[in-house]
Structure formats: C-alpha cells, structure tokens
Chains A and B, each alone.
Chain A
Amino acid sequence: MRYLLRRIGFYLLAAWSALTLNFFLPRLMPGDPATALFARFRGRLGPEALEALRETFGLTDAPLISQYFTYLGSVLHGDFGISVAYFPTPVMDVIGTGLVWTLFLAGTAVVVSFTIGTLLGIGAAWWRHGVIDTWLTPVFALLGAFPYFWLAMVALYILGFTLGWFPLGHAYGDDLTPGLSFAFIADVLRHAALPIATVVLATLGGWLISMRNTMISVLGSDFVNLARAKGLPQSRVVLKYAARNALLPSITGFGMALGFVLGGSLLTEIVFSYPGQGYLLVQAVRNQDYPLMQGIFLVITLAVLGANLLVDVLYLWLDPRTRESTS
C-alpha cells in the first residue's frame, strides 16, 4: 500500500507542476499575451471578450500569489476559462465534447497494440531466428519509423479514398443519431477502425522489441534455467517463469510511453477529422486560443496521470515484491 500512496503522491505533484506551469507560462513569455491577443483580434472581440480573456489568465491587479490561488481555485472547480475560438463557450465545455472520442480511440489502440506487441515479443524471443523474430520484428520496426499521422494519411488514401472500404472521417455517419443501438455502435466501429489500426501498427513495434529484448534477458536467468532443470513443460517455463517476469519492466515502460502514444494519437485524429482533442488542438493553434490550448494540455495531462496510476495498480497486482516491504 505504501507503494501506491507514494505513486499517488507523485502524480499529485506532477499534476500540481502542470497547473503551475500553465499559470506561469503566459507570464513568462515575452509581451503581454492578453494584450497581444487583443491586438490580433482587433475589432473582432468586444471589450467583454477582452475582460474574459484577462480573467482566464488571472491577469488582475491583485498580487501574484493571490492570482495564483484564484487560478488554482477555478481550475479545481473545472473552470478553465473561456475559449477564444469558440467564444463565449467555456473551455471545459469545448473540451468535454471531444474527450470521450480521444479516450476511446487512444485507449483502445494502446491496449490492443500492447497486447499484440507483447505476445509477439514473447514469441520472437522464444523462437529466436524464427518467423516472428526474423520477419515481423523488422517489419513492425519499420512501420514504427513512420510518423503516425503519415501512416494515417496512407491508410486513409488507400483504404478510404481509393478502395472505399472505410469512411473518410469523423466518428460516425451524419445520418445516425448517437445512442446505444446496434447500428450506431457498428458505425462507430467502422469509423474507428482505420484510426485505431493506424495507431496500433505504428506503436506495435515498440512493445514487440521491448518485450523481446526483456524476454531474451530473462530467459538467461538462473531461475529460468532451474525451471528447465526441474523438467517443467516448455509452456510453463516460457509463460509462468520467463514471460511473467519479463512483463514487469514492460508494464513500467508502458506507463512511461502512454503520454507519447497519446500525442501521436492526437495527430492521427487530425488526419481522420476525428472529433477528439486533436481536432480541437489544431483549432486552438490556428486561432491562438491560449485558454483552449492550456485547457487541453491540463486535461490530457490529467488523463495520462490517471492512466499511469491504473498501470501502477496493475503492477502492484503483478509483482509480489511491491505488495509489502522486504524482510
């Protein structure tokens, strides 16, 4: 339990760092962002808009410390300010619409990719110089060298545009109403297939190679050798002795890679016009909508921290050494 508490403490610290970073960034940058924004949107934003903007940044005349606490207070209440691009919608509402789709896309892709990659990695290590090791590993490594969003472009072009097998964008067809109907779910899956497949293909190589290398290392350890000496069947030696242990560093790596994969997933969303955070990000950048950008940053960071915590819980379950202190 102490392990979990320490991890939670760390994530709280990381979250606080992100919040504080968000607070200080506009204040550190050259120029006064609010005024600069106003200058940019000369005439397009009324005085109320400018006021709202100033408030979002907490740029009041109060001393820095109280500005900071006001800021923290609003964030904890879910108030991330007002979006510029979607004025006057609050940032939280703008983000809310897309969050589900991003979590669905990235979450599914990551789980599928990790599972398949890990299984293949075990196979590659066990059957050294076999089919998986010689062919699949380099193929997936090569696929991983392409930017995710480029693979998305290729997939969209060939499978969507040229062959017409998959829809060209969005999360579901315009003619369907969202709901738990079979038709709707099927349509969602059809629309999600290419984006998820893209992210899976791009990231599979990483998990495969990492698991393969860890497995090779573990297969050389004394306890695996002893397992063989005990006359245990191959399957048990590979799974319960080798893989079970090789999985541990793999899971640790999984947690660390989540943020990175999420980033790539966001870019993939853009190619497919998938209505998630990626699309919002582009709008935010294009319109220099700082409140929205910062809001997305915070939300995504919190999501990644939460996911990392889940991974830590999983690790706790898998590794008996973390469950209590050593004697």
Chain B
Amino acid sequence: MNEKLLSIRDLCVDYITDQGPVRAVDAVSLDIHRGEFIGIAGESGCGKSTMAQALMRILPPPAIVSRGEALFEGRDLFSLSEDELRELRWKCISLVFQSAMDALNPVLSVGEQITDTMLAHDAANAREARQRAVDLLEMVGIPGDRVDSFAHQLSGGMRQRVCIALAMALEPSLVILDEPTTALDVIVEHSILTEIRRLQRRLDFSTLFITHNLARMLQFSDRVAIFYAAKLVEIGPSAELRKAPKHPYTQGLLRSFPSVRGSTEELTSIPGSPPSLRTPPAGCRFHPRCGLAVDICRERSPELMLYGGDHSAACHLAT
C-alpha cells in the first residue's frame, strides 16, 4: 500500500445539547493512503458525514471535537489555528456535498465560485483563474461557455459536476464526497462515479466516498468502512467485504441490496431501526437488531479486531 495521507486516531465528535453531549462519532480510527478510493457506508445519522466535516472543522455549533487526532501529512488537523486551517482547506482537502443546489451560491456564477477559491489561495490573476475554471468544467464534461451560468440554470447532474470541478480546483490530495449522488438518478450516478475514478487516476488524489448504498460502493472503492451508530464496525478491501463480510450488520446490508450480476436472491432488510445516539444500547450497539446476538453482545462493546490482511471487524462472534 502507498504511504499514509491521513491518519485518524480515536476521533470523538460530540454535539452539545441542552440535555448534555451526544456522541455522534465514537472513537473512530481510520487510515487513508495516497491514491486510495475508500468508501464509508452506513445508515442515516450513523456519523459518517459528521466525521468528514469534522476533519475540515466546518461542523457548525453545537458540534465539538472532544477527542482524538487527525494527522494529515504529519500535521494534526485539530491543532491548527484558524489561519492555518484556511490555508489548508481546499488546497489539501476538498469536499463535495450531497445537494449541489444547496452547495452553490445562488447569486454568484459557477465560474466565480470556482475562481474565488483560486484567488484566495494562489497568487493567480483573474484572467488565469477564469481560464482554469473553464478547463476544469470541460474536464468534467461541461461546455466551457457555461462558466458564467448560475446554479439554477443548470440541470441536477450538471450542478453536481460543477461541484466536482470545484473540488478539483486546487488539486487537493484528498477529496471527500459526501453522498454526492444520492439525489441523482442511477444512470447519472454511475457516470459521475466513473468520472471521479477517472479523474482520480489522472490527478492522483485520494477519495473518501460517503454513501448509504453499499453495493454501489463496493463496485468503485478499493477499501470500504462500515459505520453503525457512531462507531466503525468493519473495514477492509472491497473484494473481501463483498465475499466474506464479518460483521452481521455488513452482512445484513449486503443482503438488502440487489446485484445486477449476482444470482436471484431474496432481499431481506435489517429489522428495527438505528438506536438513538443519546442513549445507545449497552454492549454492542447492534445487538437489538442482530439475529446472532448472545449474552456477551449485550454486556460488552466489541473491539475492532484484525482478521488477516487488512480486514477488521468489531464483533464478538467474528472469526
């Protein structure tokens, strides 16, 4: 594997509410290597987006980072000053949100939204920046003359492509994609994902891809991490996860997504719903919904254990 780009250690993110702190990310440790495409899957509210935004420290109040470190190229993101953060943002790590319509400023042209970050970081002049913006748009398949268009004049798919072009603007080392295709139809989704992989190979950046669609992600990612109720419950190479998932939750997720290529199987969904993070279940958080739960599952929270190669899972019953 390549060298480590980002090393997250024991990260905890809390939301401070009237009734006390709610832990939205619980002791997550994760490494991202150069040039890697790593996916993060889990149900809504499991903490994946929170973690991603916490890395860039753009989580709005009442969030705080209450534990851990995130070493990006050796520097701890959590000890940087505001100015250092501002320099690092977008230049080293960039972000694509789920809803492109919400992510774009309605009163500025898309070109201006690409050039303003260039002008804020490099010493590029306005004309060069504009030309680069045009090139970026063409790179993601949008005609360059749309550089002066506004967000509302573009289709959903085009808007998302603009956001991707925007994310590439300063050639960052890590691009975080937070459910970028959830709001788009399947065909557009596939083409955008293919596009991203192509760009990744061309520009050589790492991708952190967040989604709730596990099947889709196994197709495109090198490695996949599974989140459940603020914890990281399984992580490993895609091929292995697909063939031999170790955590019952992962197994459940795989069973609930159809595969076009696979044999005709019965789809089953996981019974119940994710627990409240304010009062999580004792022991393993998944035990109320797990068909295999035994006594120890109700009492002790399982540690993330390595099971050969690069595959880890947090389950008392994994082998």
Per the bound structure, the CA–CA distance linking A287 and B95 in Å amounts to 70
Per the bound structure, the CA–CA distance linking A149 and B106 in Å amounts to 41
Q: How many interface residues does chain B have, given as a range? A: 20 to 34
A residues near B88, Cβ cutoff 8 Å: 231
A residues near B58, Cβ cutoff 8 Å: 225, 228-229
Q: Which segment, of A136-144, A155-163, A232-240, A299-307, faces chain B?
A: A232-240
Chief secondary structure at chain B's binding surface: mixed
Q: Are A245 and B155 in contact (CB under 8 A)?
A: no
Counting chain B CB atoms within 10 Å of each CB, the highest count among A221, A222, A240, A318 belongs to A222
What are the interface flags for B97-116 relative to A under an 8 Å C-beta threshold, 1 for contact and 0 otherwise? 10100111111100000001
Per the bound structure, the CA–CA distance linking A223 and B99 in Å amounts to 10
Per the bound structure, the CA–CA distance linking A187 and B34 in Å amounts to 74
Counting chain A CB atoms within 10 Å of each CB, the highest count among B86, B91, B166 belongs to B86
Q: Are B153 and A326 in contact (CB under 8 A)?
A: yes
CB nearest neighbor in B for A318:
B107
A residues near B244, Cβ cutoff 8 Å: none
A230 at the interface (CB under 8 A from B): yes
Give residues 213-243 of B contacting A (CB, 8 Å). none
A residues near B90, Cβ cutoff 8 Å: 229-231
Q: Are B120 and A230 in contact (CB under 8 A)?
A: yes
A168 at the interface (CB under 8 A from B): no
B residues near A236, Cβ cutoff 8 Å: 116, 120
Q: Report which of B99, B106, B116, B153 forms a contact with A327, defined as CB distance below 8 A.
A: B153
Q: Are A229 and B116 in contact (CB under 8 A)?
A: no
Q: Are B106 and A222 in contact (CB under 8 A)?
A: no
A residues near B85, Cβ cutoff 8 Å: 231
Q: Are B97 and A222 in contact (CB under 8 A)?
A: yes
A residues near B97, Cβ cutoff 8 Å: 222, 226
A contact set with B: CB distance below 8 Å: 220-223, 225-233, 236, 240-241, 244-245, 248, 318-321, 324, 326-327
B contact set with A: CB distance below 8 Å: 53, 56, 58, 60, 85-91, 94-95, 97, 99, 102-108, 116-117, 120-121, 150, 152-155, 166
Q: Are A327 and B154 in contact (CB under 8 A)?
A: yes
B132 → A minimal CB distance (Å): 15
CB nearest neighbor in A for B92:
A231
Q: Are A241 and B91 in contact (CB under 8 A)?
A: no
Q: Are A221 and B102 in contact (CB under 8 A)?
A: yes
Q: Report which of A230, A320, A321, A324 forms a contact with B117, defined as CB distance below 8 A.
A: A230
Per the bound structure, the CA–CA distance linking A222 and B113 in Å amounts to 14
A residues near B104, Cβ cutoff 8 Å: 223
A220 → B minimal CB distance (Å): 6
Given contacts A221-B102, A320-B106, whether A229 and B153 have CB atoms under 8 Å apart is no
Given contacts A230-B120, A245-B107, whether A321 and B56 have CB atoms under 8 Å apart is no
Per the bound structure, the CA–CA distance linking A109 and B120 in Å amounts to 38
- Given A231-B87, A232-B86, list of 9 further CB < 8 A pairs? A222-B102, A225-B53, A226-B95, A240-B108, A240-B116, A248-B107, A320-B106, A326-B152, A327-B152
CB nearest neighbor in A for B114:
A230
Per the bound structure, the CA–CA distance linking A223 and B152 in Å amounts to 14
A257 → B minimal CB distance (Å): 23
Given contacts A226-B103, A231-B90, whether A321 and B60 have CB atoms under 8 Å apart is no
Per the bound structure, the CA–CA distance linking A321 and B116 in Å amounts to 21
A243 → B minimal CB distance (Å): 10
Q: Are B117 and A231 in contact (CB under 8 A)?
A: yes
Q: Are B152 and A321 in contact (CB under 8 A)?
A: yes
Q: Are B103 and A223 in contact (CB under 8 A)?
A: yes
